[in-house]
Structure 1
Amino acid sequence: MTSKPAQPVALEADAPRPLPRLARPPSVADWIPTVSIPVDCEPAHFHEGLLQLVLYPEQSSSTILRAEILDDEQDPADHLDLAGGDAQTRCPLTGYTCVRRVRRRVLPNRPQFDWAMEQECLFYDKRGSEAGESEALVVLLPDFAQLDRDRGDQRLPYYHPQVYALAFRYLADHAGTSTSLRIDLVPLPSQPLLAPLPQNDRLFRTAQVLAKYAAKLCNGQAVGYQKRIHHDLLVGRTAVQDTYQRLKDKYQWMLHSWQESTDATKHVFEDVAIAAWLVTYWAEIYPDTEGKPPGGFVDVGCGNGLLVYILAAEGYSGYGFDLRERKSWASYTAPRPDLRVQSLNPVTLLPSALDHTDSEGASGSAESSDWPFPRDSFLIFNHADEMTPWCPLLAALTPGPRVGFLNIPCCLHELAGRFERQTYTIPAAFLADLPPSQIAADHPSADGSEAWRASLPDDLHPLLFPFYAAAPLSYSKPAAKGATSAAAASPTGDVSILGGRYHAYQLYLAHLTLRCDFVPAREALRIPSTKNFGLVGGRAPRSPGGTGRDQEDVRDEVRQLLAEVVRKGEWRARRPEGKAGERSGH
């Protein structure tokens, strides 16, 4: 039977091992012991866990957008003395040694209600512990002077506990048999508090939540926890979040005029988040066309059409289509987006493109009205169901060297039938064409992805690592010359990853993407959906003089894939609904 996790317990006002008063800035009140929770870790794990809490406060509170790190000083003890300096950045505690100082600016998730706040985060070790007792400490100090300068008052924002100072403490007894994480606080001078805090007080409940979350981080560090879901691999977090905030403020009126029966909050914010990611990503890959796909975008299976509307309103040309018109479509005005009722049957559409060659010798059908994707367009497949695996094939036959796509799978479909496999292997010949890393060098991730990349085996590309898969993970690397252990290596040179069906499906889609001559990369999108993995594809770079042969090879790959689907005879295209269904279409 699994034991229940430890819970924080309330502390009495006279709890042992009290903290000394803050010397600078001078505190007018003593620390109030608040809650304590058992932890199973060492002081170093405590500091690493609390560092995560300091760097990523949004993971502990949905009211926080992120923290911008203004300064990170290692071993600043010599500078944190009582002599001179800015009072807000000098906070020694008698008997403690400051080993790290982080200054951060915390940004609100709701800027219309909250405001930004700067804060000192001071990491301490205990000097000369008594009776062998060890202690570590992290003190959070709001910068009231900064609040006064920026706002004209010293009020703390809602997302921050209403306290003068907050301390996370690691306490171990002399035998080391009992270790705990404890939270003490100093009340605001304007809001004196009784000790102990009443357990129905909001501040006490906040301390309970923080203690549980901090304990989880510290215990995770002790057992070697590694983050599995990594965001911001392709574009920077700051740019995406800032764009999202701008678009959310601009289009949240849609919540009150939603025409569909679906959850307005989920769908509006999800499409806003996808639009924010696309706008940021396009700015990176299309700098010479003002951050816009040269051929526009096409949203396949656009559903309620909100994503198409947002992109159109932001000045991006393109269109979307679906099997039936939605009630929302008529409500989108100024500008009115291009939304169409249309079905897509790749089994009948692809052969005509394979037989066509444009004026530049490239496959596709730029001049044909039957081909739905313009030259150099960007394809969007957002939860496109059974159309999901067809995305790279359709992109492959779309003319132009700057074609790209974003594929966000929902249900697990193969080209024909359901995807049921628990493992998938990409042949080594295709892996050799992968670039060194999918993480852009000039866009280091804000959530530690560079460390994640460095921790991978030297011969394992980040694309192959199951950042969505549950442990345990089994990795079979390519066989080295002269290897004798068949269990430790794949004799074919292929890479096999046992990471669960969802990661196997990612590898399946990545293999299709490679077969269609696109370079695949993954992103965990910041959208309110459990299916938020996105596969991005861009044209593979061409070697001089090799364009014609490479393109014919791609067409042969598509022919082979299409022939296998036809042989199985399982593909059935959906027909448009309503009046459009009376007409046959692609």
Structure 2
Amino acid sequence: MAGTKNPSKAPTPRARFVGVPATASSTLPSLPSAVTSWLPALSAAAPFSLSNFYHAVEIQTLNPEYNSSTILRADILVNEDLEDQEQAKQSVIEMESYDCVRRIRRKLQPKQTRDGSMEQECLFYRTAGSEEDAEDAEGLVLLLPDFELLQRDNGGVVPYYHPQLAALAFRYLPPPPSTSTDSEPPSASIQLDVLALPSSPLPTPLPLDHRIYRTALALLKSLHSVACGLDEGYQKRVHHDLLAGKEEVQDLYHVLKEKYRADLVPLHEPRITFPRWMLHEWKESTDPQKHLWEDVAVTAWLIVVWKHMYPETEGKPPGGFVDLGCGNGLLTYLLHSEGYPGYGLDLRARKSWASYNPSPTLLTTSLDPPTLLSSPEPPFPAGSFLIGNHADELTPWLPLFAAKTPNSAFLNIPCCPHTHVDRFTSKEYKIPPEFLDSLPSPPADPSPASPSSTHHPLLLPFYAPTSSNGGRMHAYQLYLAHLTLICGFIPEREALRMPSTKNIGQLGRKRVWDALDGKEREVAIRRVQEEVERMVKSAKEGWKARKPEGKAGEH
């Protein structure tokens, strides 16, 4: 679990997970119409509270992909607290001696869409009549596949990506009463009980090499790790899906992935898929499949963001896109193939450019940002969306290009840190308070600051805090955010779901003066113009325009 430790809580040593075969210390009530009985599979000591047990199970329930490489996500259909037990009795399974306090219904979506989805009830129980913080309260979470839907849609077969079980029960068992002979007070424990399918009985006890036991071991170990992290005060650091919906992007990504995996020439023998074609025809020294799936992910994210940014033009930037420092041109090719007008620019032509069909517009040029920005003409067509996907030394210039291009916006995905004239080497960076004061408050904050925090809430959900101590890339993110603010844009950052360690995108689409009127707005616009001119003038002495290499100047 990616997170940062809560400074207000003293660090404690992480308890080692030791899973042992469970014994039926307290038997679970049978489920209605259940053919088989509960089988205790595995247990372990629980050096954390019942509330953190619930929180850890919730995290894993909402994010099943954390524990399975074959699951894409869970679509949450219902998520409700059930404080009214009369309401609970009408909507959930009653368990003797337990009150149901929460219900989540989810639809598991596999990575391979042909494998089909599965709906599941996730029911949270507590000892009847007890409070969550009661020392003797027992917690229980049931995971129940919807077999009626499975029977209708899949012949009653449980999909392979889910354990072949009729139900699972995660349990939090309070410590037994201590005695005078105990050298240490007994601790609470967690336990996983399973309910076998009628067609697949389980041996009692489960052998340690049995597949269900190994699955139970992995699930309980993961739950133990997350709950211990919560108990130690860890907080989520990397927040995804803040600027585009997870479901929308993932669904489009898989559509595009299947499309570009499909045959390019169906009648050709042997059949050639896009990745195989890239493997054989790719002319660069880099890994073609790495580039393909990275750029398919960026393409999917951009298309979803553009759909909401440009509803009047059917989700297409009015001035087209400009892929600055496009390199192998694959992102330009993918966007062009999906019907988005635009072009890519790079210092030199790449061998791969000639292989693309349909052929996108890929141009060679040696950009000189200070000269380009000193011209009275806009550097790019009005309404352009500028893309800097690992654009190296052009990365810090994108906010300035966007500031000088009417009605434009941009996405920066930085890789190698650069300033306007040199390498960025600092390991710390702090955005001046006056720029933070100019930021509007966000409508909602998934990770609110403490009252004493000096961080602006708009920057909290992102990878880099406002005052970094996480190394050069943290500091560089803040440097780019500061540049973005100077150029009049509100920096919005996203941890993109792409197979790359350099996956933090910074989006500039909203202006800092959008909420201002009259003279205040005019002053803000004039200040940005003056700041951009100042930065351009300052960089003229140090910037050295690179020249096209090899035969690039002939294209």
TM-score calculated relative to the size of structure 1: 0.81
Q: Are 1:206 and 2:201 matched, yes or no?
A: no
1:465-544 counterparts in 2 under 5 A?
Answer: 465=460, 467-469=462-464, 498=469, 500-538=471-509, 540=511, 541=513, 543-544=517-518
Given that 1:21 and 1:29 are in contact with CA atoms closer than 8 Å, whether structure 2 keeps it comes out as: no
The amino acid that maps onto 1:526 is R
Summarize the Cα distance change of 1:538–1:70 in structure 2 as closer, same or farther, 3 Å threshold. closer
Q: Are 1:376 and 2:383 matched, yes or no?
A: yes
Q: What residue is the counterpart of 2:416 in the other structure?
A: 411
Summarize the Cα distance change of 1:550–1:31 in structure 2 as closer, same or farther, 3 Å threshold. closer
Given that 1:167 and 1:184 are in contact with CA atoms closer than 8 Å, whether structure 2 keeps it comes out as: yes
Q: SS in structure 1 opposite 2:124?
A: strand
Given that 1:298 and 1:378 are in contact with CA atoms closer than 8 Å, whether structure 2 keeps it comes out as: yes
1:325 to 349, 365, 379: 349
* C-alpha distance in 2 between matches for 1:8 and 1:35: 10
Q: Are 1:116 and 2:117 matched, yes or no?
A: yes
CA displacement 1:28-83 (0-9 Å, x = unmatched): 222222222332111111111111111121222232222222223323644565xx
Given that 2:349 and 2:552 are in contact with CA atoms closer than 8 Å, whether structure 1 keeps it comes out as: no
Given that 2:140 and 2:169 are in contact with CA atoms closer than 8 Å, whether structure 1 keeps it comes out as: yes
Deviation of residue 90 (structure 1)? 4.5
* C-alpha distance in 1 between matches for 2:93 and 2:526: 69
Q: What residue is the counterpart of 2:7 in the other structure?
A: none
The amino acid that maps onto 1:374 is P
Q: What residue is the counterpart of 1:274 in the other structure?
A: 298
1:346 to 358, 364, 369: 369
The amino acid that maps onto 1:103 is R
TM-score calculated relative to the size of structure 2: 0.85
Q: Are 1:434 and 2:444 matched, yes or no?
A: no
Deviation of residue 548 (structure 1)? 7.3
Q: What residue is the counterpart of 1:395 in the other structure?
A: 402
Q: Are 1:149 and 2:152 matched, yes or no?
A: yes
* C-alpha distance in 2 between matches for 1:4 and 1:515: 44
Q: SS in structure 1 opposite 2:79?
A: strand
CA displacement 1:168-220 (0-9 Å, x = unmatched): 11123224632222211111111111122233333222212111111122222
Q: What residue is the counterpart of 2:270 in the other structure?
A: none
Q: What residue is the counterpart of 2:253 in the other structure?
A: 244
Q: What residue is the counterpart of 1:360 in the other structure?
A: none
* C-alpha distance in 2 between matches for 1:451 and 1:557: 33
Q: Are 1:125 and 2:148 matched, yes or no?
A: no
Summarize the Cα distance change of 1:65–1:128 in structure 2 as closer, same or farther, 3 Å threshold. same
The amino acid that maps onto 1:575 is K
Summarize the Cα distance change of 1:72–1:517 in structure 2 as closer, same or farther, 3 Å threshold. closer
Deviation of residue 149 (structure 1)? 2.1
Q: What residue is the counterpart of 1:558 in the other structure?
A: 532
Q: What residue is the counterpart of 1:197 in the other structure?
A: 206
Q: Are 1:32 and 2:39 matched, yes or no?
A: yes
Given that 1:421 and 1:504 are in contact with CA atoms closer than 8 Å, whether structure 2 keeps it comes out as: yes
Q: SS in structure 2 opposite 1:119?
A: strand
Deviation of residue 415 (structure 1)? 1.5
The amino acid that maps onto 1:558 is V
Identify the range of structure 1 (537-546 vs 184-193) with the bigger mean alpha-carbon deviation: 537-546
Q: Are 1:230 and 2:239 matched, yes or no?
A: yes
Q: What residue is the counterpart of 1:72 in the other structure?
A: 79
Deviation of residue 97 (structure 1)? 2.3
The amino acid that maps onto 2:120 is Q
Q: What residue is the counterpart of 1:20 in the other structure?
A: 28
* C-alpha distance in 2 between matches for 1:254 and 1:545: 55
The amino acid that maps onto 1:349 is L
* C-alpha distance in 1 between matches for 2:408 and 2:240: 24
Q: SS in structure 2 opposite 1:189?
A: coil
* C-alpha distance in 1 between matches for 2:325 and 2:527: 29
The amino acid that maps onto 1:345 is D
Q: SS in structure 2 opposite 1:558?
A: helix
* C-alpha distance in 1 between matches for 2:524 and 2:446: 36
Given that 1:18 and 1:31 are in contact with CA atoms closer than 8 Å, whether structure 2 keeps it comes out as: no
Given that 1:268 and 1:306 are in contact with CA atoms closer than 8 Å, whether structure 2 keeps it comes out as: yes
Count of matched residue pairs: 514
Q: What residue is the counterpart of 2:447 in the other structure?
A: 452
The amino acid that maps onto 2:104 is V
The amino acid that maps onto 1:406 is L
Given that 2:15 and 2:228 are in contact with CA atoms closer than 8 Å, whether structure 1 keeps it comes out as: no
Q: Are 1:136 and 2:139 matched, yes or no?
A: yes
Q: What residue is the counterpart of 1:424 in the other structure?
A: 429
* C-alpha distance in 2 between matches for 1:264 and 1:161: 35
How much is the aligned-residue C-alpha RMSD, in angstroms? 2.8
Q: What residue is the counterpart of 1:257 in the other structure?
A: 277
* C-alpha distance in 1 between matches for 2:451 and 2:321: 35
Q: What residue is the counterpart of 1:101 in the other structure?
A: 103
Give 5+ residue unaligned stretches, structure 1: 357-363, 366-370, 445-449, 474-494
Q: Are 1:461 and 2:456 matched, yes or no?
A: yes
Given that 1:169 and 1:181 are in contact with CA atoms closer than 8 Å, whether structure 2 keeps it comes out as: yes
Deviation of residue 403 (structure 1)? 0.1
CA displacement 1:436-486 (0-9 Å, x = unmatched): 22xxx5xx7xxxxx43147676863234337435xxx8xxxxxxxxxxxxx
Summarize the Cα distance change of 1:195–1:330 in structure 2 as closer, same or farther, 3 Å threshold. farther
1:351-366 counterparts in 2 under 5 A?
Answer: 351=374, 353=375, 356=376, 364-365=377-378
Give 5+ residue unaligned stretches, structure 2: 1-11, 179-184, 262-272
Deviation of residue 317 (structure 1)? 0.2
Q: What residue is the counterpart of 2:170 in the other structure?
A: 168
Given that 1:409 and 1:533 are in contact with CA atoms closer than 8 Å, whether structure 2 keeps it comes out as: yes
Q: What residue is the counterpart of 1:314 in the other structure?
A: 338
The amino acid that maps onto 2:157 is R
Q: SS in structure 1 opposite 2:416?
A: coil
* C-alpha distance in 2 between matches for 1:452 and 1:27: 42
* C-alpha distance in 2 between matches for 1:36 and 1:519: 49
Q: What residue is the counterpart of 2:16 in the other structure?
A: 6
What is the aligned-residue identity percentage? 49
Q: SS in structure 2 opposite 1:426?
A: coil
Deviation of residue 142 (structure 1)? 0.4
* C-alpha distance in 2 between matches for 1:189 and 1:552: 74
